[in-house]
Amino acid sequence: MFRTNRRFLKLLLILLPVILLGNSCLFDKEIKQDSRLNYFRAQIHVILDSISRPEQRIVAFDTLIGQVEHDKDIFSQRKRNLLLTEVYYSIGNEYYILGDYIKAVQILSKPVIMNPANAVAYYNRGCAYQLADSLECAEKDYSKAISLRDNYSDAYYNRGLVYECGNQYEKALTDFKKVVSLNPTYKIDAILKLGTLYTSMDKYDNANAYYTKAISMDTLNWDGYLLKAELYKKKKAMDSAMLQYNTILTKDSFNAYILQKRAELYSLMGDKQNADADLQQVEQINTEMNKKMKNSSMKNFNKIKKHDSE
């Protein structure tokens, strides 16, 4: 027994330097790989910060993809694909800016192919499909993203919009209620969407309840008041609609848009005098705003000229 242990220890002493050397080489390769990955990630930000035109940024990103694909220091295909996915997302965003949503779909399909289990990849391509008005494809991608990540509130929200466009109101209600339950930062938006859906379904009491809930959560969210006003106008409850506009104007008396909406309501009610008074105030506000914008532009122009002369 003692001899066996001695032989084992002797063998271990012989192999130990080889094991340590192998681990050291692997560790050095990992460090070098991560350094290259960080370098390429930094280049993404350099491109975004230093190039102003989206067409030129796309060319730069394409060049970066070629460099990543041929970089021998990146030996992990998984990490290489993660980096390439980031670049493809950036290119997709550039095509959004250009309004070329079909091309965005093509680019954003690449991360889906590289990793079919990536919920974000399906979601991003779904956004491109939705912007391209390919709503059936968008719905499929959002549904796939949700199947991979059950708490994906963004995917539920966008799929709800797709269902709404297709007049599938019950499905849309289910998705927006799911968003509300997930409690994202834009929860109030989902609550307001529930109100507009019920309005489209002529279920005014349900709609009013959701608008009221949204207002109670944020009394400075004018959308809730505006949607309630439109709801009351549908119900021919003009005084209640007027109350919504007046509530906003007590907090924001120089809101030209709300004054315009109130003027329209006064006209519907046959009150020409108050309608004209609101329209005159709107004109005055717009004149003052244009004057301020002109003065601001002149100040900036003078600053630029002064800088040039130094």
pLDDT < 70 regions, the chain: 1-27, 292-310
Q: Give pLDDT, residue 17.
A: 54
Q: Give pLDDT, residue 301.
A: 41
Q: Give pLDDT, residue 2.
A: 43
Helix (H), strand (E), coil (C) string for 19-64 = HHHHHHHHHHHHHHHHHHHHHHHHHHHHHHHHCCCHHHHHHHHHHH
Name, in order, each residue with C-beta under 8 angstroms of 145's C-beta and a sequence gap of 6 or more. Answer: 119, 120, 122, 123, 126, 152, 155
Per the listing, tokens 């609101």 go with 278
Give exposure, 155-167, as e/b (b: 16+ Cβ within 10 Å): bbbbbbbbbbeee
- The full set of domains in the chain, from first to last, is 56-149 (1.25.40.10), 159-232 (1.25.40.10)
Pull the structure tokens for residue 236: 């021919």
Q: Give pLDDT, residue 110.
A: 97
User: pTM of the prediction?
Assistant: 0.82
**Tell me: the pLDDT tens digits for 95-148?**
999 999 999 999 999 999 999 999 999 999 999 999 999 999 999 999 999 999
DSSP 8-state assignment for residue 201: T
Q: Give pLDDT, residue 279.
A: 95
Cβ atoms within 10 Å of 176's Cβ, excluding its own: 27
Q: Give pLDDT, residue 289.
A: 78
